[in-house]
Structure 1
Amino acid sequence: MHALKSQPSQTALGLVLAVCFPQLVMAQGVDDLAAKFGARESVQSISISPDGSQLVLVAPRLKGGENAVVINLATSAMVPILSSEGGKEQISQCRFVTEKWVVCGVAKIASDGHGIRRLSRLMAISNDGKEIKSLSAKDASNAIVAPYFGGAILDYNVPGQPGTVLLSRWYPRQTQTGTIMSSSAYGLGVERVDVESGDRKRVELPKVNATSYISDGQGRVRIMETQPRSEDGYANQQINYSYRRAEGGDWNPLSKLVLSSGLSSGFEPVAVDSQTNTVYGFAENGNFTGLFKKTLDGSAATTLVLGRTDVDVDSLIRIGRDQRVVGASYATEKRTVEYFDTELGKLTASLGKALGEGKQLSIVDATAGETKLLIFAGDDTNPGKFYLFDKAAKTLGELLEVRPELSKVPMGAMKPVQFPAADGTKIPGYLTLPPGSSGKNLPAIVMPHGGPGARDEWGFDWLVQYFASQGYAVLQPNFRGSSGYGVAWFRNNGFKSWETAIGDVNDAGRWLASEGIAAPGKLAIFGWSYGGYAALQSAVVDPDLYKAIVAVAPVTDLDALREESRGMSYFYVVDEFIGSGPHVESGSPARHANRFKAPVLMFHGDRDMNVSVSASRLMKGRLEAAGKRVDYVEFPDLAHALDDAAARARLLSESNQFIRKALGL
């Protein structure tokens, strides 16, 4: 990965600000607010050193890519330690292992004869930027296939072995030159790696069906996930979990997870608590997902830790270098954290009050012994800031804003709402009005989320706030097929029962009109990923409802989506999720281009691994052949998220201009 390199030390505070908060570059034709809202967050990843004297953060570069920098908190001295050139390369995350050594994950999107692939590697870099090493094992010269997966850190802290990490990685199948012998030791295994010396010791033999491992935060592998494959190489729709006792020994069966229509049934382990010798995981709790724990002593005793009867409990809260479990969270109208560590719960409540009413607070990282906590806090109208809390000194200091260019830009409040679907079902969502607006007779945008196995939540959203700043009311519906609302809500998934999901999306637009929020004839729809699919399919169902359609990285043909996954191990899962029958043809907007009345604008990155760029190219061709109005922007070397400031600014500005023209504004 030649574009990734260590850099010489620099100590001027002005350079810290220049690296972390690059000035905006105004592209021709892009409005000022589009550039500000389209700018990437100034902190992509952040971690604190074991003694709390240093930070390492990943910050966007001015013209794409990222810089990883180490900052001395006492002197504000900064050292850039790693750089990516952008486009196909990315620094995903950096964390301290010791005071001297930082581990960064880097990735590159590459093309080969099998399509687009993500190549990942782990790098160890000294905090002065002078030493850089690859933690990912070198590809064997006799490997049949070079591994794309460069490894994942299971533990950053192995007790009694400072500077040693626990790392899972893929061992490729090998052949002996001049023989027909091949190594049987291939698959996913685990090693202990000394980040300074590079010495490595295998602690878990590779297994071909293994897909992940979970450690106990103490350097011991306790859980193994395996997914058997069929004779044709596809992964089955059942995942098996095994556990190992604390004293070691053989693997023992723990649970099974069955995948069907995007849903899973069974116990899915997430984290091991070495103090209680239990594993936390998620499983069905009636119609909803709850958090459970199982003992790992052979008794398999299972206890419900947290469950609700209105929404899923879907997130485990962990902090510190050993990733200690401290709580769990769920989202009703807003996300709520319930702390199992009562003292930490009291502390976060106190910090929340100090930071202001309504702020959502999370603990991002902690020092050894949790003496200092790295805190993030923000809300719907505030993109958020990072803070450092010192327990001993009882001080809370502000560190960094994530979007400093927006600090003086007025924002619209994000209000939880419900609207009726055609069958009377109440659909939850969020309505954001332009700052200072009366909320009536406005141009309006329905913005369905991606997924479909996802949901929108209360909090800052750069897309929503940009359009609100331009005078639009924005409604984000959590249609049936959204996650977080239980099995019955999700089962009406976005493809097999697309009529339900798209019906809810269109009912969101009708509600805006009936309530007088949307002015007559001033309704548009904007969606990304599945949301882009929903935007296009909504026009197939009701061509007269929206006067402008913007789709970013959309699915456009369900059979094509299925076929694109045929070369992937997870084909069976995608095939079953889409299903077969008349809904595939009727639910593919590219097959119904003749029904479109409103103009269409699409954006797509040509390195998209989630939805192939061919989907937008197909839709563009079909619309043009049908004589419909369509504009299309394709971004070279960008993936699904279009994680580039210039591209996002252009997307915002051109979408606004397109919608305004279509709505006659």
Structure 2
Amino acid sequence: MQISKRMLLASAVLLAAVPARADDQVAALFGAREQVRQVAISPDGERLLAVQAIKGSGTVASVITISTGDTKPVLVSKGGDEQLRYCEWALNDRLVCTVSVINRGTTDLHGFSRMLALDADGQNMQMLTSQMRSRAFGQSQYGGEIVDWNDGEGGDRVLMTRVATGEYQAGSILSRSESGLGVDAVDTRTLKRKLVEPPRDGVVDYISDGRGTVRMMVTQRETKDGYAADTLDILYRKPGSRSWDRFGTYVNEAGRGRGFYPVAVDPNLNVAYGFDDHNGRQALFSVSLDGNMTRKLIATHDQVDVDGLMRIGRDNRVIGTSYATDKRYSEFFDPELGALRTALGKALPGNPSVSFVDTNADESKIVMWVGSDVDPGGYYLYDKKTKQLAEILKKRPQLDPGQLARVKAVSYKSRDGVDIPAYLTLPAGSDGKDLPAIVMPHGGPGSRDEWGFDWLPQYYAMRGYAVLQPNFRGSTGYGSQWFQKNGFQSWPVAIGDVNDGAKWLVSSGIAAPGKVAGVGWSYGGYAVLQSGVTEPGLFKAIVAIAPVTDLELLREESRNFSNFRLTDAFIGRGDHVVSGSPARNVEKISVPVMLVHGDYDQNVSVEQSRRMEGRLRGAGKKVEYLEFKGLDHQLDDDVARTRMLADSDKLLRAALGL
């Protein structure tokens, strides 16, 4: 087995040019995007597919011949409002890729996805997403997804979802005889389609067994005014049956689910795997699909949610589960893979995390991801037959792990005596005392931080800051009681935990008095801005990237979309909407603020930052605003990220007197 270094060298060449100044050079090193997004292996195990970043915001998919290392680019996206999201092997010589495009309408941004099929040499590209008929009522934004790489008949077809929107008949009469989400078996060469599941209104998900049989279907109820409701109905099929039987319901209550939600079907055991509540925390269960609905607790933890299901191979078979305490831990159902994971973890230097990413058809070759807190990670190929391990590509080859900062799990007391888990990153080589410091709450708010490499805190650590990432109450991963009502409705608790993290940094001697700032992205940006409202001057400077700033505006921005009632319930009604909106309380903010946003952001509208900037300026406050044209929520562009890092560091240093 041979993997050429050619791809590694090509990746390094694609990095943005490095400016001459030392501080800007550091910003360019960390502002450069991950050089590899995805690696997949062909069914015969002879070739790899790598999706990589190219200079600016573009992406390229390339096919690598394992035996020679020869590399051929086959598909390129320009980036910005056009993104290559995902590619996979349909056959040994045929690929399936998903691309997305964002269009700006009169008032809203509209995202479209489409699936393409192409040969492994880049030729014969065709649209795999079904073409809309000329009389179709409306246009589907959703291009479909693969639910099974097998068709159940031993052919070359895949099972993929298809959206039907109904058609006009004579005059203006609308036929609803075929509308909703269905499943087709599609030949990726000829594009011939065979109906597997007829389109049904309200269907949001189908789950196949990995062998070409759809076993479960999820439908979403509607509210009286036609929006998506918070209740999902789940149906299933017994083996060999075409009839749908009722399985249960799942309710999304302001961001926290209630009920069993299936995520995979095991055809050998004839069970569905899914997650449900167990003693206030999420656990993994199986439920039999034989009609008896026998429920079995598979994995639980007394401190955190069990939230990961590990799957592998062409049939996406379930191999284990995972959860995160101080680090992410795995429990394997497959003893062979579990033993291999343990052996590789011990053999590789630095005690890294190891994840199985993909396998060929007979699982004799495995693509793995390996990384740690000081290693941005990379992809490896393991051959079971020869027991050889070869490096494929590194995610960030320009960074030296020896110069990166260790990440440590810590906890601190909140004002009401609760232990708040967090991660602390100290500058490499520092004594960890009297440092300038940053509190960096995560996005979401339905999310949490985990141990590992993170380019944003690592950049600031390289610049000399201690960085604290709190998993404040309102975070996911710690159970329903920790989640509260969510980070918006329970913002006083969440922001209080963030503020207490800043005070702990000073009281513990890690941060020098008067030298703590707040930096956050998305909800994290909201949190540091709201901290500036609730405890003015605690943070001496605030950097908010793509932040929510006005909860009522967030609600109204979803009014023209199907999820409006869900967003409405998530935000809630009451006094907290006004008191919890930084843009409505700018007079209380007393420190310099930097706002950063992309104007093609579909997660958090750019209007959130524009409104905040306007009101800060109107109140005579110090504010800087960076708006990047054509970029979305992730600011997935080398130049934009580099400037954001360099400019924010400059603002922080000035505000903290560094």
Residue of structure 1 in register with 2:69 after alignment? 76
In structure 2, how many angstroms separate the alpha carbons of the residues matched to 1:484 and 1:23? 35
1:22 to 14, 17, 20: 14
Aligned AA for 2:381?
Answer: L
Residue 618 (structure 2) aligned to one of 613, 625, 635: 625
In the TM superposition, what whole-angstrom CA distance separates every residue of 1:266-323 from its partner, at most 9, and x where no partner exists? 0000000011111000001111000001111111110001011110000100000100
Pairing partner for 1:244 from 237, 259, 266: 237
Q: SS at 2:556's partner residue?
A: helix
CA distance in 1, matches of 2:253, 2:473: 17
Distance 1:15 1:514 in 2: 48
Equivalent in the alignment of 2:653:
660
2:458 alignment partner, one of 462, 465, 472:
465
Unmatched tracts of structure 2, length 5 or more: none
Does 1:129 find its partner at 2:129? no
1:189 is aligned to: 182
SS state at 1:227 partner: strand
Equivalent-residue separation in structure 2 for 1:277 and 1:187 (angstroms): 28
Contact residue 86 and residue 97 of structure 2 kept, 8 A:
yes
Partner of 2:98: 105
Residues in 2 aligned to 1:318 and 1:114: alpha-carbon distance in whole angstroms: 41
Could you tell me which amino acid in structure 1 is paired with residue 454 of structure 2?
D
Question: Does 2:479 correspond to 1:448?
Answer: no
What is residue 512 of structure 1 aligned with on the other side?
A: 505
1:397 partnered with 2:390 = yes
Cα drift, residue 385 of structure 1: 1.5
Q: Which amino acid aligns with 1:506?
A: N
CA gap of 1:85–1:357, structure 2 versus 1, over 3 A, is closer
Confirm whether residue 433 of structure 1 aligns to residue 426 of structure 2: yes
Tell me how far apart the structure 1 counterparts of residues 174 and 529 of structure 2 sit (CA, whole Å): 53
1:164 to 157, 163, 167: 157
In structure 1, the residue corresponding to 2:403 is in which secondary structure? coil
Tell me, yes or no, if the aligned pair for 1:19 and 1:67 is still in contact at 8 Å.
no
Letter of the 2:400 counterpart: S
* Structure 2 residue matching 1:369: 3-state secondary structure: coil
Q: Of residues 574, 578, 581 in structure 2, which corresponds to 1:581?
A: 574
For residue 228 of structure 1, report the CA deviation from its aligned partner.
Answer: 1.4
User: Is it true that 1:500 corresponds to 2:490 in the alignment?
Assistant: no
* Mapped contact 1:263–1:491 kept (Cα < 8 A): no
May I ask how many residue pairs the two structures share in their alignment? 655
- Pick the aligned partner of 2:307 from 314, 317, 324: 314
What is the letter of the counterpart of residue 178 of structure 2? Answer: A
Residues 70, 79 of structure 1: 8 Å contact kept: yes
Structure 1 vs Structure 2 CA RMSD: 1.6
Aligned to 2:351: 358
Return the alpha-carbon distance in structure 2 between the equivalents of residues 408 and 280 of structure 1.
Answer: 38
More off after superposition, 394-403 vs 350-359: 350-359
> In the aligned structure 2, how far is the partner of 1:28 from the partner of 1:613?
32
Alignment equivalent of 2:143, drawn from 118, 140, 150: 150
Structure-1-length-normalised TM-score: 0.96
> Hey, what's the Cα distance between the residues in 1 that align with 2:517 and 2:83?
34
Decide which moves more: 375-384 or 575-584: 575-584
Provide the secondary structure at the position in 2 that maps to 1:370: coil
Contact 2:8/2:394 (<8 A) preserved? no
The equivalent of 1:553 in structure 2 is 546
Match of 1:6 in 2: none
Give the 3-state SS of the residue equivalent to 1:31 in structure 2: helix
Q: Distance in 2 between matches of 1:426 and 1:132?
A: 55
Structure 1 residue matching 2:27: 3-state secondary structure? helix
* 3-state secondary structure, aligned to 1:468: helix
1:417-464 Cα deviation digits (max 9, x unpaired): 000000110100000000000000100000000011100000000001
Q: Answer whether contact 1:97 1:157 (CA < 8 A) is retained.
A: no
Q: Tell me, in whole angstroms, the C-alpha distance in 1 between the residues paired with 2:150 and 2:65.
A: 22
Residues 170 and 189, structure 1, Cα contact 8 Å, conserved in 2: yes
AA aligned opposite 1:213: Y
| CA apart distance, 1:357 | 4.3
Partner of 1:231: 224
Q: Is contact 1:13-1:78 (8 Å) kept?
A: no
Give % identity. Answer: 49
Is residue 56 from structure 1 mapped to residue 49 from structure 2 by the alignment? Answer: yes
Tell me the amino acid that sits aligned with residue 214 of structure 1: I
Aligned counterparts, 1:590-629, within 5 A: 590-629=583-622
Deviation at 1:168, TM superposition (A): 0.6
Counterpart residue number, 1:34: 27
CA contact 1:492–1:500 (8 Å) conserved in 2: no
Which stretch shows the higher mean deviation, 408-417 or 481-490? 408-417
Give the Cα separation in 1 of the matches to 2:34 and 2:630: 20
Cα contact 2:231–2:251 (8 A) shared by 1: yes
Q: What secondary structure is seen at the aligned counterpart in 2 of 1:501?
A: helix
1:409 Cα offset (Å) = 5.8
**Separation of aligned partners in 1, 2:89 and 2:486:** 41
Amino acid of the structure 2 residue aligned with 1:46:
V
Residue aligned with 2:482, SS? helix
Distance in 2 separating the partners of 1:177 and 1:528: 51
What is the DSSP-based 3-state SS (H/G/I as helix, E as strand, rest coil) of the residue aligned with 1:417?
A: strand
CA offset digits 1:600-634 (Å, max 9, x no partner): 00100101111110000000011001000000000
Whole-angstrom CA distance in 2 between matches of 1:286 and 1:162: 46
Between the aligned partners of 2:34 and 2:170, the Cα distance in structure 1 is 49
Task: State the one-letter code of the partner of 1:308.
Answer: H
Shift of 1:231: 3.3
Whether contact under 8 Å (1:480, 1:504) holds in the other structure is yes
| Contact 2:153-2:212 within 8 A present in 1 as well | no
User: 1:56 offset after TM fit, Å?
Assistant: 0.7
Instruction: State whether structure 2 residue 366 is matched by structure 1 residue 373.
Output: yes
Residues 620-654 of structure 1: CA deviation (Å, up to 9, x unaligned):
01100100000000011111111111111111111
Q: Take 1:619 and 1:182, find their aligned partners in 2: how far apart are those partners?
A: 46
Q: Residue 165 of structure 1 contacts residue 194 of structure 1 at CA under 8 Å; is this kept in 2?
A: yes
The reply to whether residue 257 of structure 1 matches residue 220 of structure 2 is no
Q: Please list every run of 5 or more consecutive structure 1 residues that lacks an aligned counterpart in the other structure.
A: 1-10
> Aligned partner of 1:68: which letter?
A
Measured in 1, the distance between the counterparts of 2:424 and 2:168 equals: 59
Q: Which moved more, 1:276-285 or 1:54-63?
A: 54-63
CA distance in 2, matches of 1:462, 1:14: 25
- Distance change >3 Å, CA 20–CA 206, structure 1 → 2: farther
**Deviation for aligned residue 1:371:** 0.5
SS state of the match for residue 406, structure 1?
A: coil
Q: Which residue in 2 is equivalent to 1:4? A: none
1:273 aligns with 2:266: yes
In 2, Cα distance between the equivalents of 1:27 and 1:147? 44
Q: Deviations over 1:43-84 (max 9, x none)?
A: 111100011110111111213211111111111111211111
Distance 2:581 2:430 in 1: 38
